[in-house]
Structure formats: structure tokens, C-alpha cells
Amino acid sequence: MTSKAIEELKRRRQGEFKKKNSQIPYAVIVTAISLIIYTICIKLNHHSTFWMIGLLFGITLQRSRFCFAASFRDPILVGSTAILKAILIALIVSTIGFTIVEYASIGDAGELDKIRTLGQVYPVGLHTVIGAIMFGIGMVIAGGCASGFLMRIGEGFLLQVVVLFGFLMGALVGTWQFEFWDKILISKAPTVFFPDYVDFPIATIVQVIVLVALYYVADWYDKKNNIMVM
């Protein structure tokens, strides 16, 4: 290759680089619109916090290519637990965080009933098992979980709009048929909330220990099975 050809290649590369950069004006516009919506939400007192944190969720999911579907699929398909380990870390952080928030909100009186309504505490039973298996299958064949398809719509994937449409339909049909499942399974199932059985701080400590142990298991599994090691 002559120096001229390399210079030419360099120029072309630079051109591509510039062309790629041309989305910045759009980025500025969308950022401005997002901030305007934020101020409107504040004015109308309408879930402005949800809007702002939602934006940050979207940015974080996109920047880190965070995919829950992959965290379940990759250990099975290629033996990689990189995302699973990150989720375990996230669960450790949020277990500790949730404990502090809940503890602060109830004071030192043990009002467990109040905490229960704050978090995501629901009946567990056969319906959970059926739902989880269905969800797992759907997630893998659709190529994305609930947070994943929202993020990919933002990236410009038209396929994920189809997933969202299917998800919406499925969720509505499920809501409509909820009575059936509630009568045969859910209403008979117990709600297991760990602080009902052990002291709240102990529940936190045990859960963190279990999550840390799972992290090491995932790490060991990755080292043993990962076929994607570079």
C-alpha cells in the first residue's frame, strides 16, 4: 500500500467518523425535549421523578448493554455468567439499600405490615413456577426481557416494537383471565416475606450472604464453562 493510499484511507475513515458524529444535533434536541417534559411534569405535579429516573434507567441499560434475557440464556448457551454476576452485585446493593430505606420509613417499631406494602411482596406457589417458565421461554425466543425491549426500541430496533405489542396483548389477556388463576391457585398460595420468620436485620444479612455465595458459584461456573473467553 502506498502512502497516498493510506492517506486516502485515513481521510475516508475520518469522513466516516464525522458522518457518525452528525447525530449530536439530534441528541441535543432530544435532550432539550426530555428536560422540557421534565419541567412540565414538575409543574403539573405528575410523576416527574419517574420520568427523570426512567431516563437514567434507559441511559444506563443502553450504555451497559444490560440484558436480563442474556443473563439467563448465556450461562446455558455459552457458559458465560458475566451479566448474571453483575445482576447478583446489583441485588446485593439493592438488598442493603431497600433495608435501609424500609428501616428508616418504619422507625424502630416493627411495623412489618407497612414494609410489606412498600416492596414487591406477593403470593408464591405453582403459579409463580408456571409464570417463570413461560416468561423464560418468551424472553429467550423474543430476544429480550421487559427492560430489554424498551431499551432496544430506543436504539431503533423495529422488532422490539412487535415484542412490546405482543407483551401488551399477553398482559391484557392475562389480566382479563386473572380471576381463573386466582381461584384455582393464587388465592390458596401463601405470601412468604422473610422478615415474618426472622428478624429484619438477620434476613438482610442472610440474604446478602446467599447472594455473595451465588456470586462465587457463578464465577466458578464461568471459569469452568465459558467458551467465549477471549
* Binders of other proteins in range 167-196 (CB under 8 A): 167-179, 181-182, 186, 191-195
How many alpha carbons lie under 13 Å from residue 115 in its C-beta half-sphere? Answer: 20
Distances, alpha carbon 12 to alpha carbons 6, 22, 58, 144, in Å: 10, 15, 33, 36
Pick the closer one to other proteins by CB: 39 or 49. 49
Name which position in 12, 15, 36, 89 contacts other proteins (CB under 8 A): 89
Distances, alpha carbon 69 to alpha carbons 82, 83, 98, 143, 196, in Å: 13, 10, 24, 7, 32
Told to check if 49 binds other proteins by CB under 8 A, we report: yes
Name which position in 36, 40, 130, 228 contacts other proteins (CB under 8 A): 130
- What's the CA gap between 117 and 105, in Å, rounded? 12
Counting residues that bind other proteins (by CB under 8 A) gives 129
Pick the closer one to other proteins by CB: 18 or 108. 18
Name which position in 11, 40, 60, 209 contacts other proteins (CB under 8 A): 60
Name which position in 11, 39, 113, 129 contacts other proteins (CB under 8 A): 129
To other proteins, the closest distance from the beta carbon of 217 in angstroms equals: 13
The interface with other proteins within residues 139-158 (CB under 8 A) comprises 139-143, 145-147, 149-158
Count of C-beta atoms within a 10 Å radius of residue 148: 21
Picking from 73, 86, 71, 70, the residue whose alpha carbon sits closest to that of residue 211 is 86
Told to check if 218 binds other proteins by CB under 8 A, we report: no
Told to check if 12 binds other proteins by CB under 8 A, we report: no
Told to check if 136 binds other proteins by CB under 8 A, we report: yes
Q: How is residue 211 written as a grid cell?
A: 447472594
Told to check if 120 binds other proteins by CB under 8 A, we report: yes
To other proteins, the closest distance from the beta carbon of 108 in angstroms equals: 18
To other proteins, the closest distance from the beta carbon of 26 in angstroms equals: 5
- What's the CA gap between 13 and 7, in Å, rounded? 10
The interface with other proteins within residues 93-112 (CB under 8 A) comprises 93-95, 97-98, 101, 105
Output the CA torsion sign for 144, 149, 154, 159: positive
Residue given cell 417499631 in the structure block: 109
Fill in the amino acid letter for 142: A
Name which position in 108, 117, 227, 230 contacts other proteins (CB under 8 A): 117
Picking from 182, 203, 193, the residue whose alpha carbon sits closest to that of residue 121 is 193
To other proteins, the closest distance from the beta carbon of 22 in angstroms equals: 7
- What's the CA gap between 23 and 106, in Å, rounded? 48
